[in-house]
Amino acid sequence: MPINREAVSRRSFLGMLSATAAAVGGSISLLGSTTAKAVRVVARPSVAQMGRLLSYYKTKPRWASWLVPELNVNDGWQRWMRTILNSKSLPIVHDNFSRIGTTIRQTHHWVMVIDERRCVGCQACVVACKDENNVPVGVYRTWVDVVEIGQMVPDSNGAIVTDHGRFTNNIKRSSMPLICNHCDHPPCVEVCPVKATFKRADGIVMIDYNLCIGCGYCIQACPYNARFFNPVQQTADKCTFCAHRVDRGLLPACVTSCPTHARVFGDKNDPTSEVSKLLSTVPTTVLKEDLGTHPQVFYINREQEVYDENSIKNTVYPYTANLDSTEYATLSGNAPLPGDTGGQR
Amino acid sequence: MPPTNYYGTGLEQGYWGLMIVTYPYISGLVAGSFVVATLSQLFGRKRLAPIAPLAAILSFALLLSAPLTIWGDARQPSRVYELLTRMHVPYSPMALFLLIWIAYVILMLVELYAVFRAGNAERAVWQSRSLKGKISSILTLGVRNTDAASLRRDERIVRWTAGIGILLAFLFHGYIGFIFGSMKARALWSTPLMPVLFIVSAIVSGIALVQLVYLAVSKWYGWRIDRGIVAELNAWLIGTILLDLYLDVVDLVTSGVRGYAPEETFEWFNRLYFHGPLVWTYFGLQLGIGAVIPLIALMTRRSRLSIVNSAIMAFFVLVGVYAMRWNVVAGGQMASKVTNDVVSYPIIGTGYDSIQTVIGVFAVALLLFLFFMWGAPWRTGLEQPSEGTGLEQPGAGLEQPSEGAGGSSGREQPLVPPPLVTEMSNEALATPSGALPNEVTPSFLELQSLYRPSITTTQTQRGRS
């Protein structure tokens, strides 16, 4: 090693140190008594630094214990159109959606197939989506409507024996995962007055939160109730098919977490993908087809009763149900719920 | 009604609150009062000429305060400039709002200039020392002559702006109806009738508001109320209420009858308007108080001349039209998109989208209107002292010419302007300021009456004593 008066950088010093240690360790190992270990020095903040960090974060505003994101701070996330929303810089459209696939080249066309034969209503996808996308309390990007219809029927040969007689189980429970359908002709994108929401060339419909003025037109225009007001950001929000994961070759969080493989995500343009095979072999339906939105979430074995009988009276998991309803008020209505903001929105 | 402390946690809520109920109401009043002003300016109803300036400034005051509602409803109000920089025209109806509003403001400024220019010119001369005189001299923009040619040019400008203004008023209120009518996601809103319903009820509310304001202002200043104006406004009110009622009945029949309506439309129309939370606002307020009762109460000519009756019916109509906006906006959101439950829609007292903010917007409109009333010379043809106790004989308005204004609507005279100095004394001409008593200074009324035969004054007819 040349010895000179220049400052030796920590990295080169550490390199020297580890080389020396390896040499020493290697020589000792030749004696066969100890194994060589690389020495790693990791920079940790001191206790005082940790205290300062904690008191810094204590000054940050929080909403129901969630850190309020600062969207206009110059910390690198301001280029989030390039990093998160559209990291591959795909063309985006706000109207004339038939351009995608014709005049705008479409490489992938992300769709989801939901197999209702497999969904058990475990709500794991709901939790995973909330965790992955920092969805605030009380609003959901995806949810599973589990509806129970029917009653116990008195039956003298019934299998259920109680003190009040024998009953047969005539109850049917259906579950339906619901999500933004990322329609091919989304009415929500068309009505945005400031072009804050857009459809990417690969089919994903997203919102640029820095542009949204919070007018709520898109939320009214979505026929599937997939959009909501993010109470922390005070803008519109919706499922993004976990574009930040998909762009990096992963699957959306809800798909990854589904234990029964009820959600299948893939590229419709790829004939070898599982969704293409499912779409070509299994009959599928979409929601509210007569509205002409061309949704890209396809349901296998969709139970019409879930849509028809979807009421708080039949809902098994009420936390995602229509709690702001007169039916809920007549049922119970007085339990404080998460997201209780005391009337201030 | 459920308590509000957990409102906002369900998957469906009312996203468009009281402000969005109030916005079509205010813009409807803008369009309607503008239409009343154009009745005399463009459609030749000269009897209504005295209230045209009042209706114009009423429309302008409401127009300026209308955006407060939607600005207050946006969750990110600091970004509304994006409506200009990133407007999604022509695909988003809401993006057109700012363009239409700016165009309408410019048009109203031009029209108000032309309507009030002569009055401002006169006030600038005769009251040049007072603040009002100084304001008037600015508002004339330098054009001070009140000869016949300039008055004719003013009238031509007014006719043109009234014509274009009617189109803009229809556009200003029509796009809002279109926002609702084009929403295929909500079954109760998605009907081609929606823009037409909004426009017609807007005109109804505008006529009623001008009627109420005219009666209130005349009573406040103690002026004689022209029964002819009252009766004519009531006649227009009845006509438009009939049209509005027709559209309401068509809407009811095509949406509220199971055999004629699709499932979702019928189910929610039936559940909300026939059995549910909106029964009283629909049948009681919108149809009952807002349409049927005024129709019955103003049916006879004698009832149309009564001042108390007209005021009460005008107020009823205003309440009924607000109920219609409530039924459409709130009712449409009470109908759940994806479940079978009625979405609760609380009315909040204070805070965001609350009654307090609605009152605030109307207060701003009232403030602007009072400011315009102070500053603009709108009293032409209205400023007549009451005769006696003010209790008029019924029936003394329409058939025979009354002892005041409005009696010459059937009299057609060519516009031959007499020379200016005929009726005034030299002393009057020589006095520069408005500090002299009124006996010497000719009022603007007298000046106007020389050029507009339809406007006659009790002063010139009976002489000032």
| pLDDT top residue among A55 and B437 | A55
Instruction: Identify whether B418 is part of a domain.
Output: no
Q: Does the beta carbon of A310 lie under 8 angstroms from any beta carbon of chain B?
A: yes
Q: For chain B, positions 329-388, list CB contacts with chain A under 8 A.
A: 333, 336-344, 348, 351-352
3-state SS, one letter per residue, for chain B: CCCHHHCCCCCCCCCCCHHHHHHHHHHHHHHHHHHHHHHHHCCCCHHHHHHHHHHHHHHHHHHHHCHHHHHHHCCCHHHCCHHHHCCCCCCCHHHHHHHHHHHHHHHHHHHHHHHHHHHHHHHHHHCCCCHHHHHHHHHCCCCCCCCHHHHHHHHHHHHHHHHHHHHHHHHHHHHHHHHHHCCCCCCCCCCCHHHHHHHHHHHHHHHHHHHHHHHHHHHHHCECCCHHHHHHHHHHHHHHHHHHHHHHHHHHHHHHCCCCCCHHHHHHHHHHHHCCCCHHHHHHHHHHHHHHHHHHHCCCHHHHHCHHHHHHHHHHHHHHHHHHHHHHHHHHHHECCCCCCEECCCCECCCCCEHHHHHHHHHHHHHHHHHHHHHCCCCCCCCCECCCCCCCCCCCCCCCCCCCCCCCCCCCCCCCCCCCCCCCCHHHHHCCCCCCCCCCCCCHHHHHHHHCCCCCCHHHHHCCC
Q: Does the beta carbon of A345 lie under 8 angstroms from any beta carbon of chain B?
A: yes
Report the residue of A181, A325, A330, A332 to disrupt the B interface, i.e. the one with the largest count of B CBs within 10 Å.
A325
Report the residue of B15, B265, B279, B329 to disrupt the A interface, i.e. the one with the largest count of A CBs within 10 Å.
B15
Q: Does the beta carbon of A138 lie under 8 angstroms from any beta carbon of chain B?
A: yes
- A194: which chain B residues are within 8 Å (Cβ-Cβ)? 79, 82-83, 86-88, 95
Instruction: Identify whether B167 is part of a domain.
Output: no
Q: Which of B59-63, B91-95, B119-123 is least confident?
A: B119-123
Neighbours of A185 (CB within 10 A): 16
Domain co-membership, A254 together with A195: yes
Report the residue of A72, A294, A323, A324 to disrupt the B interface, i.e. the one with the largest count of B CBs within 10 Å.
A324
Q: Which of B19-23, B338-342, B379-383 is least confident?
A: B379-383
CB contact under 8 A, B16 and A220: yes
pLDDT, one tens digit per residue, over B412-422 is 344 445 444 44
Residue A122's CATH number: 3.30.70.20
What number is the ipTM of this complex? 0.78
CB contact under 8 A, A194 and B87: yes
Q: What is the pLDDT of residue B437?
A: 44
Tens-digit pLDDT profile for chain A (345 aa)?
445 555 567 777 777 877 777 677 666 655 544 455 677 777 888 899 999 988 988 888 887 777 777 766 776 666 766 777 888 889 999 999 999 999 999 999 999 999 999 999 999 999 999 999 988 878 899 999 888 888 888 988 888 898 988 999 888 888 999 999 999 999 999 999 999 999 999 999 999 998 999 999 999 999 999 999 988 888 999 999 999 999 999 999 999 999 999 999 999 999 999 999 999 999 999 999 999 999 999 999 988 877 778 887 788 877 776 666 777 767 665 544 444 444 444
Q: What is the pLDDT of residue B399?
A: 34
- Overall average pLDDT of the B382-407 stretch: 43
Q: Does the beta carbon of B71 lie under 8 angstroms from any beta carbon of chain A?
A: no
Q: What is the pLDDT of residue B145?
A: 83
- Overall average pLDDT of the B349-357 stretch: 89
Domain limits for position A33: 9-44
Of B13, B91, B348, the CB nearest to A190: B91
Instruction: Identify whether B47 is part of a domain.
Output: no
Q: Is residue B124's pLDDT more than 50? A: yes
- Residue B148, classified by CB atoms within 10 Å of its CB into exposed (0-12), middle (13-18) or buried (19+), is middle
Residue in chain A closest to B344 (alpha carbons) equals: A325
- A333: which chain B residues are within 8 Å (Cβ-Cβ)? 2-3
Least Cα separation, residue A137 to chain B (angstroms)? 8
Q: What is the pLDDT of residue B177?
A: 94
Q: Is residue B191's pLDDT more than 70? A: yes
| pLDDT top residue among B464 and B194 | B194
Residue in chain B closest to A147 (alpha carbons) equals: B339
Q: What is the pLDDT of residue A44?
A: 84
Q: Is residue B459's pLDDT more than 70? A: no
Q: Does the beta carbon of A72 lie under 8 angstroms from any beta carbon of chain B?
A: no
Least Cα separation, residue B137 to chain A (angstroms)? 41
Q: Does the beta carbon of A260 lie under 8 angstroms from any beta carbon of chain B?
A: no
Instruction: Identify whether B411 is part of a domain.
Output: no
Q: What is the pLDDT of residue A39?
A: 75
Of B93, B186, B344, the CB nearest to A329: B344
Q: Which of A296-300, B22-26, B124-128 is least confident?
A: B124-128
Task: Please check whether residue B272 is in contact with residue B281, taking contact to mean a CB–CB distance below 8 angstroms.
Answer: no
Q: Does the beta carbon of A312 lie under 8 angstroms from any beta carbon of chain B?
A: yes
Number of structural domains, chain B? 1
Domain co-membership, A279 together with A184: yes
**CA dihedral sign of residues B185, B191, B196, B197:** negative
Least Cα separation, residue B409 to chain A (angstroms)? 48
Of A192, A291, A310, the CB nearest to B92: A192
Instruction: Identify whether A54 is part of a domain.
Output: no
CB contact under 8 A, B339 and A334: no
Q: Does the beta carbon of A323 lie under 8 angstroms from any beta carbon of chain B?
A: yes
CB contact under 8 A, B83 and A194: yes
Q: Does the beta carbon of A324 lie under 8 angstroms from any beta carbon of chain B?
A: yes
> Number of Cβ pairs closer than 8 Å across A and B?
183
Instruction: Identify whether A167 is part of a domain.
Output: no
CB contact under 8 A, A213 and B83: yes
Task: Please check whether residue A218 is in contact with residue A208, taking contact to mean a CB–CB distance below 8 angstroms.
Answer: no
Q: Is residue B37's pLDDT more than 70? A: yes
Q: What is the pLDDT of residue B317?
A: 97
CB contact under 8 A, A213 and B352: no
CB contact under 8 A, B77 and A213: yes
Q: For chain A, positions 78-117, list CB contacts with chain B under 8 A.
A: 94-95
Domain limits for position B300: 227-345
Q: Does the beta carbon of A316 lie under 8 angstroms from any beta carbon of chain B?
A: no
Residue in chain A closest to B87 (alpha carbons) equals: A194
Instruction: Identify whether A118 is part of a domain.
Output: yes
Q: How confident is the model at residue B388 (pLDDT cuts 50, 70, 90)?
A: very low
Q: What is the pLDDT of residue B192?
A: 93
Residue in chain A closest to B351 (alpha carbons) equals: A344
- Ranked by mean pLDDT, the top range of A248-262, B149-163, B387-401 is A248-262
Residue in chain B closest to A136 (alpha carbons) equals: B9
CB contact under 8 A, A333 and B70: no
Q: What is the pLDDT of residue A181?
A: 96
CB contact under 8 A, B1 and A329: yes
Helix locations, chain A, DSSP H:
10-30, 47-58, 80, 124-133, 187-190, 217-221, 243-246, 253-257, 274-281, 304-308, 326-331
Instruction: Identify whether B350 is part of a domain.
Output: no
Instruction: Identify whether A250 is part of a domain.
Output: yes
Instruction: Identify whether B48 is part of a domain.
Output: no
Instruction: Identify whether A49 is part of a domain.
Output: no
pTM: 0.79
Q: Is residue B26's pLDDT more than 90? A: yes
Instruction: Identify whether B366 is part of a domain.
Output: no
Instruction: Identify whether A35 is part of a domain.
Output: yes
Residue in chain B closest to A291 (alpha carbons) equals: B184
Of A187, A193, A291, the CB nearest to B95: A193
Number of structural domains, chain A? 2
Instruction: Identify whether B63 is part of a domain.
Output: no
- Overall average pLDDT of the B121-147 stretch: 85
Instruction: Identify whether A129 is part of a domain.
Output: yes
